Amino acid sequence: MKENEFTSWLIGAETPTIRYAALKDLLDLPESNRRVAAARRDIFRQGPAPAILSRQTQVGNWKNERSYYTPKYFSTHWCMLLLEELRADGRDPRYRRGVHFMLKTTAEEIDRRLRENAFELSCLWGNILRYALRAERADEPCVENIIRLLAGSIHNDHCRCEHNYGEPCAWGVVRSLYGLAAIPAPRRSREVRSAIAHGIAFLTEDGRLLRAGYPTPGNRPPNPLWFKLNFPLFYQADLLFTLRVLGELDALHRPGVQPALDWLEGLRGRNGRWCGRSPYRGRTWKQLGGREETERWISLQAATILRRAGRFA
C-alpha cells in the first residue's frame, strides 16, 4: 500500500503506537525501517505509555489502587491492558513487573477455578493472558492454567457467566479469543485449536455477528456498545473489536463475517476516515488523547481489518 492522504493523517498522530501501526500494518514497512524504529522507540518516550508507567510501584502494581481491578480504569489490570493496546515492549522490565504482579496475585484463584470447573470471568482471564504473552511468559504454570481455563470456558457453554445472568457471554468469548489469539499458531495445542474453532463458530454462524444475535436475559436488546465504534474498551467488546480478533485468527473469510465487513465499509466517511467514540475517556488516562486521536485509533483498526479481508488497498 502506498502512502496517501489517509495514511499520512495516521502517521501524523500524537500517539506513537498509531504511527508505528500505520507504518507497519498499512504500509508494510519492516521493523528495520527508520521511521518504524523511531515510532517504536517513542512508544515508551511519548504519550500515554510513559504516563501510565510513571504511576507504577516497584512491586509492579499501580499507586493508590484498591485492588488490581479497582478503580476502573486506573488500577493494575487496566493499565496492563492499555499497555498491551499501546504495543508496549513486553521485554521492558516495568512491563514484566506488572505481568509478574498480576500472575502472582491471581494464581491461587485460577487454580481454584480449575479445580472447581468455575469458568466465569473469562473476559478477565483472556485479557490477562493477552498481556502476559506479550511478556513472553507462555511457559509459566499460571499462564498454562489460564489457557486451560479459557479453553474450558469456551467449551462450557460459550463462557456462560454469572455476570451475564447465567447466559453464554459473547463478550467473554471475544475476550477469551483475544487472549488465545496471542498464542503463535504452531504452539496452539489441540485443546486450544478446538476452543478457538468453537468460539469463532459461536460468534459468526447463523448471521449472529451483525445482528448481535447472542443470548440475553429475557431476550433483551444487545448492549448498544456493540454497534458503535469504540476505543479503548476494557472487558467489553463491540463489533469492531470482534472483527479485530477474528482478523488475528484468520477468520475474516467466513461467510458469516461478510455482512459485518460490509457494515464496517459502509461507515467510512467521505474523507476516508471512520468516526468513533471513547465511552470511558473520563474514567481513564487523559493521555490517550481527544476526539481526533480516538478517530485515528478507530480508523487505523477499521482499515487494518478491511486490509486483512482484502477490501482495503
Judge whether 238 lies within some domain. Answer: yes
- pTM score, whole prediction: 0.97
* Residue 30 neighbours by CB under 8 Å, 6+ apart: 36
What's the domain count of the chain?
Answer: 1
Establish whether the linkage from the previous residue to 73 is cis, with ω within 30° of 0.
yes
The upper half-sphere exposure of residue 143, i.e. CA atoms within 13 Å in the direction of its Cβ, equals 20
Query: Cell numbers 496517501 correspond to what residue?
Result: 4
| Residues making up the chain, counted from first to last | 313
Q: Which percentage of the chain shows pLDDT scores above 90?
A: 94
The Cα 191–Cα 197 span in angstroms is 10
**183 pLDDT more than 90:** yes
pLDDT for residue 284: 97
Query: Cell numbers 496492563 correspond to what residue?
Result: 80
Judge whether 287 lies within some domain. Answer: yes
Instruction: Answer yes or no: are the C-beta atoms of 14 and 289 closer than 8 Å.
Output: yes
- How far, CA to CA in Å, does 65 sit from each of 71, 73, 78, 108? 6, 10, 11, 20
pLDDT digit string, tens, across residues 39-83 = 999 999 999 999 999 999 999 999 999 999 999 999 999 999 999
Judge whether 95 lies within some domain. Answer: yes
The Cα 164–Cα 148 span in angstroms is 22
* Residue 251 neighbours by CB under 8 Å, 6+ apart: 200, 204, 257
**216 pLDDT more than 90:** no
Judge whether 313 lies within some domain. Answer: no
Question: Judging by beta carbons within 10 Å of its beta carbon (0-12, 13-18, 19+), is residue 286 exposed, middle or buried?
Answer: exposed
Residue 83 grid cell: 499497555
- How far, CA to CA in Å, does 284 sit from each of 73, 256, 258? 5, 34, 34
**22 pLDDT more than 90:** yes
Mean residue pLDDT across the chain: 96
Residue 208 grid cell: 449472529
DSSP string computed for 94-144: HHHHHHHHHHHHHHHHHHHHHHHT----HHHHHHHHHHHHHTT-TTSHHHH
Position 169 confidence tier, pLDDT thresholds 50, 70, 90:
very high
Range(s) of the domain holding residue 77: 5-308
Instruction: Answer yes or no: are the C-beta atoms of 20 and 303 closer than 8 Å.
Output: no
Q: How many CB atoms lie within 10 A of CB 249?
A: 17
CATH number of the domain where residue 100 is located: 1.50.10
pLDDT for residue 200: 98
**220 pLDDT more than 90:** no
Query: 141-155 and 93-116 helices cross at what angle (nearest 10)?
Result: 50
Judge whether 288 lies within some domain. Answer: yes
